[in-house]
Structure 1
């Protein structure tokens, strides 16, 4: 049986692209993913990034949902400590009401940005400490019984939008297990604890009203192309992009300078963070993803097609679907 495949659309703004072109690309990607048989497309909440257009995650989901008909769409994820649980319940309750049985809500506890932007978001410095309680409060708003007397989410109440815990550590694994929720691991950029976290999650899982058995979604990067040379060139551009993101917008660098940094000991951190990346022609990508799914006993893979342009992204999505035998 083929492991279900989904997409994490990072809504990247390519060099020379406008924000509108990036968002139009997200619509085109979701439409193509729907036609090819991918299970879902998720968008992540990031702020103050010149290269990512998914900061208003729920708005983007609504826009893409209006231009597709059946594929599941959701947050991968909403950084809950940035928001009041009631607000997120109302947003995703509205989405679920307008697009029934299509909306997912993945939840993370990181800020999704830098320290200055965290302050600009009015985020409480200790907000992450109440993440487990906030998840349960949000879950109550989306069910029939609010945990806050006299307060209900309208829209939201009774929609039972499925929740997913996102993480890259044992904390998220244990929380997802304790609440009986699916667990999605951010191994596409934080690979360290993947296998340990999955083991802990499966061992400690307690069934819930939403889920009767553990469900693991593992993330990987994919760059699929017709030729190995093209795939490797796109991979190099991705690594250079990571260098520029780590340096910050105030420190521009040339391709030559980025390559020098990649060859340095510090540059090896980027290679490590991108450890779970399938690069190559369709047969190479298939072999890699089959092995990755088996490594962590994943119930589903969510793939970030990290290419520089929308057209390269769409082609990577197509070639991967063909290689993995998705039931289009």
Structure 2
């Protein structure tokens, strides 16, 4: 109900501009989970039931319905299922919902999940055919060398995640990867297997290769550049490289 009313409020403020992405993972550490009252062990039945309840709360209120999201009811906020494994791909296929794969941090099952989603998709009132987003870590700059330098912020962030030392995005450091041992470099490479880093030509080729491999309907670009102005520049370079007529609009997320 809280989620339905929060996104219902956004939908009333910005009609046609709001999507709701749902994933099973809490997306945080155990201490924060407890603060959010999310320390109860969930079962595989919980998430499908929650998705169905949100669809009902965001749909038109039925006669006699006692639990109504205000605002929220009747907004029909589009629901996307998010995942980094195969569970949500299967559920999105069964419910006929759009699907977004978190290949920006967990690329291992990307192609398998997309294949499962498309192969098992059942048309619904929401979609008549599969529709998939692929997350892409992107660092674009005027030259490959500058992009590699800016990407060191992402490499540091990823290493912090892998070693349990999360923190704010660090400033770039020249030659960061070269200082690491092979195991650390391999961990970062695995985490960022779908990353596209480089100048305009490299970005164009990298995104096109990923598009050919995944047949994605959309890319969701994650550009962890330390300087906010250069982060926006990174997205603009990507848009221009792909021949888009307008700048890429950064997505806002609500945890």
- How do 1:200-279 residues align onto structure 2 when only pairs under 5 Å count? 200-245=116-161, 246-248=163-165, 259=177, 262-279=180-197
Matches within 5 A, 1:94-243: 94-127=9-42, 129=44, 130-145=46-61, 149-243=65-159
Could you say if the C-alpha distance between residues 148 and 166 of structure 1 is closer, same or farther in structure 2, counting changes exceeding 3 Å? farther
On the 8 A contact 1:262/1:268 being kept in 2, the answer is: no
Residues 16-60 of structure 1 deviation map (CA, whole Å, 9 limit, x = unaligned): xxxxxxxxxxxxxxxxxxxxxxxxxxxxxxxxxxxxxxxxxxxxx
2: CA distance, partners of 1:172 / 1:264: 33
> How far apart in 2 are the matches of 1:190 and 1:148?
44
- In structure 1, distance between residues paired with 2:185 and 2:63: 47
SS at match of 1:303: strand
Work out the CA distance in 1 between the residues paired with 2:38 and 2:63.
23
Q: What RMSD, in angstroms, separates the aligned Cα atoms of the two structures?
A: 2.4
Q: 1:289 aligns with which of 207, 214, 220?
A: 207
| Structure with a larger share of its residues in strand | 1
Structure 2 alignment gaps of length 5 or more: 247-255
The list of structure 1 runs, each at least 4 consecutive aligned residues, that deviate by more than 6 angstroms after superposition, is: none
> Which of the numbers 218, 224, 247 marks the counterpart of 1:300?
218
- CA change 1:128–1:266 in 2 (3 A) is farther
1:318 paired residue number: 236
Cα offset, 1:145, TM superposition = 4.1
1:264 Cα deviation (Å)? 3.1
Aligned length: 241
3-state SS of paired residue (1:117): helix
Question: Does structure 2 retain, via aligned residues, the 8 Å contact 1:185–1:194?
Answer: yes
Using structure 2 for the length normalisation, give the TM-score.
0.87
Q: Distance in 2 between matches of 1:148 and 1:223?
A: 52
User: Partner of 1:127: helix, strand, or coil?
Assistant: coil
1:244, CA displacement in angstroms? 2.9
- Aligned CA distance change for structure 1 residues 203 and 312 (closer, same or farther; 3 Å): same
> 2:252 — aligned with what?
none
Structure 1: tracts of 5 or more residues without a match: 1-85
